[in-house]
Chains A and B, each alone.
Chain A
Amino acid sequence: MTNPSTPALSATTEKVKAGLQKRYNRERRFRWYGLISIAVSLLFLVILLTDITYKALPAFSQHYIKLDIHFNTDKLGVTAQSTPEQIRKADYSVLVNDALLQLFPNATDRNQKRALKNIVSTNAPYQLQNMALADARVLGTTQSVWFLSNDDADLYYREGNERIKAFEAQWLDELHAKGLVEKRFNTALFTNGDSREPEQAGILSALVGSFFTIALTLSLSFPIGLAAAIYLEEFAPKNNFWVDLVEVNINNLAAVPSIVFGLLGLAVFIQFFGVPRSTPLVGSLVLTLITLPTIIIASRAAIKSVPPSIRQAALGLGASKVQTVFHHVVPLAMPGVLTGTIIGMAHALGETAPLLMIGMVAFIIDVPQTITDPAAVLPVQIYLWADSPERAFTAKTSAAILILLVFLVCMNLLAVILRKRFERRW
């Protein structure tokens, strides 16, 4: 390699040259390790998302069945002139049965009659009741109404269903052949609360419950966590036994299993303070305890990384300690604080175990209106649906996971935008 015409290289240059190739190889190898690990994680992410999306797709559509309903005033016992109270009390299930019997007059024995009733969802009579209440003039007339199909029927139209009997399958095929079946977007998923009937079950109550819980958790843990971090980092005496004790405890709390916080919440918030259980209020109190250590630790690191020269500059101009902290240190630490908060909130959004302890596992149909209404949250809803025996809930579970992920992405996006705004001030 050495050329006699070039001047002899110094000893150092020779040594450096000898090792150079090795160093470059090491660098290249390291870059490959990084690329491979990123590729592997991306692959798993793609597999996970594809799997969930594929499984969730059926939950976003629903089969509807069209029936000609004759609002028979004799069978209902009400007319267009009846009071709303009377119209409300009438039994509309008869109308649905009649319409189905008319289509399939050969259903005679009891089993078949019961099976016939199960073609449409159980909320069909309520749908008719609402129609009559909205406009009493429908009474006595015949209307074409689209009904939600039962989950078994829905499943049959999708992929076949071994649970339904041969005669039922025949009816369903017949309905389909007559063009009385239609697949539509499932709005119920977004507008209904939970239900025992898979076709009526929706995510709204859990979504609203999660929103209330997270909003309240954020508004509690962010100020408390930031204030604690500021105090510990800027004001607390250094090398003080009690301060060190607090610090050790905060670090310990970050590692405590979350279910322990659930038990604590049950014992302290519900039993001692009497906070109503299975509400966003008590849920957010418990989640605040869980997220606080994360936020405090991240905020302290962010505050510590603000250059001391900024503090000195402010102090040198005659700013007081508090002014220095709030005018300069906190704004500069904000991106780091927000990062910690995002991690904490994402953690809180996905937390399930402690919420089971404080009753948020309850079966909640109504959409919560305030933070003291009983509510479910998304992860608990996923847990409940995953636990349900009906096959249609499998798709619902995946759909709920997707919605949870979308919620999470929206939340993180907001935080990233906020962080960008603070970062621009450098």
Chain B
Amino acid sequence: MSTITSLNPMLDAMSRAESRDEFSAAITHTVGNPLLDDPKYKTRSVNVFYAGGKQAIFDVDLDIGRNEVIAMIGPSGCGKSTYLRCLNRMNDTIPDAKVTGELLLDGADIYSKELDPVLLRARVGMVFQKPNPFPKSIYDNVAYGPRLHGLAKNRAELDEIVEESLKKAGLFKEVKDRLNSPGTGLSGGQQQRLCIARTIAVSPEVILMDEPTSALDPIATATIEELIEELRQSFTICIVTHSMQQAARISQRTAYFHLGKLVEVNDTNTLFTNPEHQLTENYITGRFG
């Protein structure tokens, strides 16, 4: 209870806040355990600005551990996707977007001039909200990354990578007889698993997932969630999700974003059972969001 008491000035400021900006300004710092020892990702004072000087992310400090699944939750427009897209420099593709602060992957600054975004994205794969397979065959979809980076010396090796990736994504049994049929002909859940297979075919170190199951039905969602649990053995996974149940099911740590600020980070169990911050509690108990 002592932590709640110490937050009172902040809560008071929030209750007084009349506009979105004032409310946002009232969230002064992150509670919980955002920092780790020997993290995979170390991010400090990350700010993101969009065109017109609109700030999407305010001073986020967050560490992402090795081989953990970290879930990012929060109401719409809270900046969780924007933060995720900083991690593989996807924000570079948005004109006039600006990212400041320190983002270290294994201690190396990913926004430094020396680091090639192409190389970074080979190490940090991404799965998007809407399944977006290429309008090519299933085989070519998975083989695209390895071909791009020259990961296979010959056709046999490439076949092996494709098979291995499809197996890891839990799709191989369903598609092994029709590897040459178009990837866009699969069902939504299969397409998303194909996209995951395509991502892991490059053997990345980190996989970013931006609401990967929001377009899928519950059964497909369950399959993907099982898959994430397995993938955790070999990859670090950051997942943005709208579903708190999903975050609770699959992640070890959870970060709660609100109005562009990182409000609370904690072990998933702690965060869902005993949230420190009033906003987190309001959100997970369904009072808003």
A313 vs B195: C-alpha distance in the bound complex, in angstroms?
9
Q: How far is the CA of A320 from the CA of B116 in the complex (A)?
A: 10
Whether a CB of chain B sits under 8 angstroms from the CB of A312 is yes
Q: Does B279 contact A (CB under 8 A)?
A: no
Closest to B126 in A: A316
Contact of B90 (CB < 8 Å), options: A316, A320, A323: A316
What string of 1s and 0s marks CB contacts (under 8 Å) between A300-344 and chain B? 000000010111111111111001000110001000000000000
Instruction: Tell me which residues from 247 to 286 in chain B have a Cβ below 8 Å from any Cβ of chain A.
Output: none
Alpha-carbon distance between A316 and B85 when the two chains are bound, in angstroms: 10
The yes or no answer to A114 lying at the interface (CB within 8 A) is: no
- CB-CB under 8 A from B136, the residues of chain A are 425
Contact yes or no, A309 B128, CB < 8 A: yes
Within 8 Å of chain A (Cβ to Cβ): is B134?
A: yes
- Assess whether A315 is in contact with B93, with CB atoms less than 8 Å apart: yes
Check if A273 is an interface residue, CB within 8 A of chain B. Answer: no
Q: Per a CB cutoff under 8 Å, which of B130, B135, B184, B199 touches A317?
A: B199
Tell me the chain A residues, 146-167 only, with Cβ under 8 Å from chain B.
Answer: none
B118:A426 contact, CB within 8 angstroms: no
Question: Residue A238 contacts which of B95, B121, B130 (CB distance < 8 angstroms)?
Answer: B95
Question: What's the minimum C-beta distance from B185 to chain A, rounded to whole angstroms?
Answer: 10
Q: How far is the CA of A319 from the CA of B118 in the complex (A)?
A: 6
- Report the bound CA distance from A46 to B263 in whole Å: 73
Complex contact A316–B148 (CB within 8 A):
no
Contact with B along A89-118 (1 / 0, CB 8 A): 000000000000000000000000000000
Q: How far is the CB of A261 from chain B (nearest CB, A)?
A: 35
Q: Which residue of A lies closest to B122 (CB)?
A: A318
A313 touches B121 (CB 8 A): no
List residues of chain A with CB within 8 A of the CB of B182: 426
Contact of B212 with A by CB under 8 A = no
Q: A314–B132 Cα gap in the complex (Å)? A: 10
In the complex, the answer to whether B93 meets A318 with C-beta atoms within 8 Å is: no
- Within A373-426, the residues touching B (CB, 8 Å) are 425-426
| Distance A328 CA – B133 CA, assembled complex (angstroms) | 11
Question: Could you tell me if B132 and A317 are in contact, using CB atoms closer than 8 angstroms?
Answer: no
Are B128 and A313 in touch, CB under 8 angstroms? yes
From A238, A239, A313, A323, B134 is in contact (CB under 8 Å) with A313
Question: B148 to chain A: which residues have CB within 8 Å?
Answer: 317-319, 323
Residue pair B202, A315 in contact (C-beta under 8 Å): no
Any A CB within 8 A of the CB of B144: yes
Give the nearest-CB partner of A311 in chain B. B93
- Chain A residues positioned under 8 Å from B125 (CB to CB): 316-317
B199–A426 contact, CB under 8 A? no
Q: Is B39 an interface residue (CB 8 A)?
A: no
Contact A310 B122 (CB under 8 A): no
* B132 and A309 contacting across the interface, CB-CB below 8 Å: yes
Size bin of chain A's contact surface: 20 to 34
Residue in B88, B135, B149 whose CB lies within 8 Å of A316: B88
**Set A237, A317, A320: member contacting B144, Cβ < 8 A:** A317
B119 at the interface (CB under 8 A from A): yes
Q: Which residues of B contact A426 (CB under 8 A)?
A: 135, 182, 184
Closest to B132 in A: A309
Partner of B118, one of A311, A320, A327, A332: A320
Q: Please determine whether A328 and B134 come into contact, CB atoms closer than 8 angstroms.
A: yes
Interface centre among A238, A239, A317 (most CB of B within 10 A): A317
Within 8 A of A (CB), among B138-160: 144-145, 148-149
- Chain A residues positioned under 8 Å from B202 (CB to CB): 317-318
Per-position 1/0 for B189-200, Cβ under 8 A of A: 000000100110
Separation in Å of the B232 CB from the closest CB of chain A? 20
B134 with A318: CB separation less than 8 A = no
Q: Which residue of A lies closest to B141 (CB)?
A: A313
Write the nearest CB–CB distance from B42 to chain A, whole angstroms: 22
Q: How far is the CB of A237 from chain B (nearest CB, A)?
A: 8
Residue of chain B at shortest CB distance from A323: B148
Specify which of A237, A312, A323 is in contact with B128 (CB 8 Å cutoff). A312
Q: How would residues 32 to 72 of chain B score, 1 for a CB under 8 Å from any chain A CB and 0 otherwise?
A: 00000000000000000000000000000000000000000
Q: Given A318-B119, A319-B118, A319-B148, are A313 and B135 also a contact pair (CB < 8 Å)?
A: no
* CB of B144, distance to nearest CB on chain A (Å): 6
Q: Which residues of B contact A315 (CB under 8 A)?
A: 90, 93, 121
A319 vs B121: C-alpha distance in the bound complex, in angstroms? Answer: 8
User: Closest CB of chain B to A194's CB: distance in Å?
Assistant: 50
What is the CB-to-nearest-CB distance from B22 to chain A, in angstroms, rounded to a whole number? 32
Contacting residues, chain A, for B118 (C-beta < 8 A): 318-320
Min C-beta distance of A174 to chain B, whole Å:
74
Distance in Å: Cβ of A7 to nearest Cβ of chain B: 36
Question: Are A318 and B128 in contact, with the CB atoms below 8 A?
Answer: no
A307: chain B residues within 8 A (beta carbon): 132
Complex alpha-carbon distance, A426 and B134, angstroms: 8
Chain A residues proximal to chain B, CB less than 8 Å? 237-239, 307, 309-320, 323, 327-328, 332, 425-426
Residues in B lying within 8 Å of A, measured CB to CB: 88, 90, 93, 95, 118-122, 125-126, 128, 130, 132-136, 144-145, 148-149, 182, 184, 195, 198-199, 202
- List 8 A-B pairs, Cβ < 8 Å: A307-B132, A313-B132, A314-B134, A316-B126, A317-B144, A320-B118, A332-B135, A426-B135
Given A307-B132, A312-B132, A313-B133, 4 more A-B residue pairs with CB atoms under 8 Å apart are: A309-B130, A312-B90, A318-B118, A426-B135
